Amino acid sequence: VQLQAFGGGLVQPGGSLRLSCAASGFILDDYAIGWFRQAAGKEREGISCISSLDDRTYYTDSVKGRFTISRDKAKNTAYLQMNSLKPEDTAVYYCAALLYGSRWCLDYDMNYWGKGTQVTVSS
């Protein structure tokens, strides 16, 4: 069983990145997927969640309107499309999975965590 986040990198302010969260060993569609981030010297922050079964979504205010969470059932992968990136979005980004979770999954202890991927927004 493995969850892997990838797709980070260096991008200029105003740019875009798409993060992927690939699952192996379990069916991702049975799980809510949460995206979290942790900036240097700060606590980890939950930023978005997509529910299991009906794909309802939640975004924290700091990313609402700029980030979009989604999943591709055929590829057993979830995504976080990040647009209009700002320097304050710089962080290590993690995905996590919660069995039969709702769109409020960020408030619960996740079943699986992926290793993080670094996103740096800088000119």
The DSSP letter of residue 110 is -
Q: pLDDT digit string (tens) for 28-69? A: 999 999 999 999 999 999 999 999 989 999 999 999 999 999
Q: pLDDT digit string (tens) for 64-104? A: 999 999 999 999 999 999 999 999 999 999 999 999 999 99
Pick from 91, 104, 109: nearest CA to 44? 91
Q: pLDDT digit string (tens) for 9-18? A: 999 999 999 9
Helix (H) or strand (E) holding 100: none
